[in-house]
Chains A and B, each alone.
Chain A
Amino acid sequence: MAENDVLDNVLDPVGQPSGIFGRISDPTSVNTGVVLDPCRQPTQKLSSMEGQLMAPRLDSLDGKVVYLVETGFHGAKDFMEQAAGWFARNMPLVKIESRSTQGSIFTDDPALWAEIEGKGDAAIIGVGG
Chain B
Amino acid sequence: MNEKFENFKNKILSFLFKIFSPILGKQAISKENRFAIELDDEGIRICKYNQNSKIITNLHHEKFNLAGNTSLFSEEDQVYYSQKIVQILKEQKLLEKEATVILPTSETIIKTINIPLMDQETFDLQTSDIEFWKTFEELSDVIENKVFSFQPLAINEETQEQEIVICLIDREKVEKLNQILRQSGVKPTIYEPKCFSLINTIFANQKNNKSNEFAFLEYGEKENYLITVTQNKFVFAINNISRADIILIKQLEKMPDPSGPFWSEVFERSIQDVRGNLMDDEWKGNEEKTTVFRNLYAHTDLEESEKYLNGLQSKLPDFTIKSLTLDNSKSDESKFENIFTNKKIKFSKQLVKKINEDNFLEDKLHPVIGASLRLLNPFNIKENLFLKFKQNLYPYKDQLINNRKIQATSGSLSMVLMLLLLIFSTIIGLNIPKYLEKNQLLASHPALVKEYNSLMEEIKTSSSKVKKIEKEKELAEKLIVKTDNFSKIIIETPQIVPTGVELQKVDYIKNDSVVFYEGYALTDYDLNLFLKNIKNKIGNPDITNLSLAEFTETVDIINEGSEDVQQIIPSSADVLKLRNFKIKVEL
Pairing of A with B: no
